[in-house]
Amino acid sequence: MQLAVWTYEGPPHVGAMRIATAMQGVHYVLHAPQGDTYADLLFTMIERREKRPPVTWTTFQARDLGGDTAELFMEAARDAYARFKPEAMLVGASCTAELIQDDPGGLAKTLGLPVPVVPLELPAYQRKENWGAAETFYRLVRAFAGSAQTRTPREPARAPRCNILGPTALGFRHRDDVAEITKLLTSMGIEVVVTAPMGATPTDLTRLRDADFNVVLYPEIAQVTAGFLQRHLGQPFTRTVPIGVGATRDFMNEVAELAGLPPPSTDGGGTLRLPWYARSVDSNYLTGKRVFIFGDAAHAIAAARIAHEELGFAVVGLGTYSREFGREIRAAAEKYGVEALISDDYLEVEESIAALQPELVLGTQMERHIAKKLGVPCAVISAPVHVQDYPARYAPQMGFEGANVIFDTWVHPLMMGLEEHLLGMFREDFEFRDGAAPSHLGHAPQPEAPAAPIIAGPASWEHDAEAELRKIPFFVRGKARRNTERFAEERGIAVITVETIYDAKAHFSR
């Protein structure tokens, strides 16, 4: 048993729902007890969908367990077909129905429905949401991809074609990422045959074979499918996730190579602003800001690269809850000289953030909580999602516009450069009192930034030294304290005095 306070991912059948809901003409019949229908509200409330997810639940109760739950399932499947007339049906079980072993796939087969029925086996006690989404997408594509073929080279006269794989319902900015990347591919002279699962019908899946290669936007969802299509239809696929300026440029080069095109122009066509904004002098204050990054693997790895290469931050922590991508995240962490945190235990992530004392947290909605509790600025970079992650405006994460959005999103929670300096210079002035919040964020000045994250060091602080420490602006105080304590520890100093603070300052200043 695993003790969980919050979870990063839902059960695998929720992943399957994300695929079914993203597509058109698919209906999912789920053998599940009463109450599991809560998952509908993720789509109607968090994502504000205007339609119910295309899911029929059997919602059995205790009294049904004594009777015939298999019959209940068959009735639900029959009724669902009659009412919704889908092009294809998915059938499966949630965690509880898995235990009663009714075999939805086998039962559905006996119904002889006039449409393809794809059975899903999603082991709920081993796997989680993203795995469930990946598996469901793979099963659907397998069912509709058609017979195997070897690729013949593209005729030079025909424009190169690709599919976009991975966007789902309830994804983090998938809607806008698809729009941005479609625009990017089109600008490169590449035709998009099918985007799936988002917006695709089962019939569309039969046309996947018309593409020369596949663009994998979200490896957590689409890598398994892309691997299958490579083996089955000889379609290669992209490995770079185009989040950030550098990654978008790499992605364009990779795509051009797969498409047999000459190296593309990757200057962003005049609307890319991140590189200049990052060079602008007011961004000086971003230098070396300590950031902690946590999310799904693809977003976390991309965020680390942006933080390091494009904003000049210092990556002090990098982690993911996507265990399936442990190898990738460890490789990335090594690049920044940190140890990867691979965990789906929210409490462990919290402990790690508290210990590392970052100046900015880039995480999920969970880390937003942790950061709020610790009084650290935070921006959200990855699912699990919240209603705020579906902005009304166009706000992709991918491509050049995505990089612009990311610059704004990450810099916004921080104290603005000039303001930070004013606070430093005029900290004795009551208007610039300790704990003043960034003026553009509008919330009431917080009380003394919570003391919680400052973990008692081994050395004790003399009264005068404590008083001196309080004169240091609060947003660098944690760092000063940490450095001083580390300095004291390394030298075996038991009591920290005012002198120790300044010795440490001199030691650490570069």
Partner 1 sequence: MSLAGTPQDSQGIAAEAAGCADTPILRERGQREVFCGLTGIIWLHRKIQDAFFLVVGSRTCAHLLQSAAGVMIFAEPRFATAIIEERDLAGLADANEELDRVVTRLIQRRPDIRMLFLVGSCPSEVIKLDLSRAAQRLSERFLPSVRVLSYSGSGIETTFTEGEDACLAALVPEMPTEPGTARSLLVVGALAEVVEDQFIRLFAALGVGPVRFLPSRRASDLPAVGEGTRFLLAQPFLAGTARALEARGARHIPAAFPLGEEGTTAWLRAAAEVWGVSEERFTQATAQGRERARAALANHRKTLDGKSIFFFPDSQLEVPLARFLSRELGMKPIEIGTPYLHRQHLAHELALLPATAKLVEGQHVDRQLDRCREARPDMTVCGLGLANPLEAEGLTTKWSIELVFSPIQGYDQAGDLAGLFARPLVRREKLMV
The yes or no reply on residue 45 touching partner 1 (CB under 8 A) is yes
Q: Is 282 annotated as catalytic? A: yes
The yes or no reply on residue 40 touching partner 1 (CB under 8 A) is yes
The yes or no reply on residue 240 touching partner 1 (CB under 8 A) is no
Q: What is the DSSP string of 79-108?
A: HHHHHH--SEEEEEE-HHHHHHT--HHHHH
Gyration radius from the chain CA atoms: 26
**The token pair that represents 41 in the structure block:** 């509200």
Q: Where are the alpha helices (DSSP H) in 390-495?
A: 399-411, 417-425, 463-471, 474-490
The yes or no reply on residue 173 touching partner 1 (CB under 8 A) is no
Amino acid letter, residue 296: D
Instruction: Report d(CA 426, CA 421) in Å as an integer.
Output: 8
| Among 26, 36, 177, 190, interactor with partner 1 by CB under 8 A | 36
- Mind spelling out the 3-state secondary structure of 183-213? HHHHHCCCEEEEEECCCCCHHHHCCHHHCCE
| Among 3, 157, 444, 494, interactor with partner 1 by CB under 8 A | 3
| Among 59, 182, 230, 253, interactor with partner 1 by CB under 8 A | 59
Stretch that binds partner 1, among 41-49, 255-263, 312-320, 437-445 (CB under 8 A): 41-49
Residues 378-417, mask of contacts with partner 1 (x by CB under 8 A): ------x-x-------------------------------
> Which residues 6+ apart lie within 8 Å of 496 measured at CB?
459, 460, 461, 462, 465, 484, 485, 488
- What is the closest distance, in whole angstroms, from the C-beta atom of residue 51 to partner 1 in the complex? 5
* Ramachandran bin of 98, using left for φ above 0, alpha for ψ from -120 to 50, beta for the remaining angles: alpha
Answer for the pair 491, 499: CB distance below 8 angstroms, yes or no.
no
| Among 112, 114, 125, 147, interactor with partner 1 by CB under 8 A | 125
Residue tagged 């074979």 (tokens): 209
> Which residues 6+ apart lie within 8 Å of 483 measured at CB?
504, 505, 507, 508
| Among 16, 74, 76, 274, interactor with partner 1 by CB under 8 A | 76
Choose the catalytic residue: 282, 408, 429, 464: 282
Residue 293: beta bridge partners? Answer: 318, 362
**The token pair that represents 357 in the structure block:** 């004392």
Amino acid letter, residue 455: I
> Which residues 6+ apart lie within 8 Å of 407 measured at CB?
273, 274, 277, 278, 311
- What is the closest distance, in whole angstroms, from the C-beta atom of residue 443 to partner 1 in the complex? 15
- What is the closest distance, in whole angstroms, from the C-beta atom of residue 295 to partner 1 in the complex? 15
- What is the closest distance, in whole angstroms, from the C-beta atom of residue 341 to partner 1 in the complex? 19
Instruction: Report d(CA 367, CA 361) in Å as an integer.
Output: 7
| Among 136, 235, 240, 365, interactor with partner 1 by CB under 8 A | 365
- What is the closest distance, in whole angstroms, from the C-beta atom of residue 415 to partner 1 in the complex? 23
| Among 58, 130, 235, 320, interactor with partner 1 by CB under 8 A | 58
Closer residue to partner 1 in complex, CB, 263/447: 447
**The token pair that represents 299 in the structure block:** 């977003």
- What is the closest distance, in whole angstroms, from the C-beta atom of residue 405 to partner 1 in the complex? 23
CA distances from residue 492 to 111, 329, 380, 486, 495 in whole angstroms, order as listed: 77, 36, 40, 10, 9
| Among 373, 427, 479, 486, interactor with partner 1 by CB under 8 A | 373
| Among 25, 100, 421, 427, interactor with partner 1 by CB under 8 A | 100
The yes or no reply on residue 123 touching partner 1 (CB under 8 A) is yes
- What is the closest distance, in whole angstroms, from the C-beta atom of residue 18 to partner 1 in the complex? 13
Which parts of this chain interact with partner 1 (CB under 8 A)?
A: 1-7, 9-11, 13-14, 33-42, 44-45, 48-52, 56-62, 65, 76, 79, 83, 94-96, 99-100, 123-126, 128, 365-366, 369, 372-373, 384, 386
Catalytic machinery residues: 282
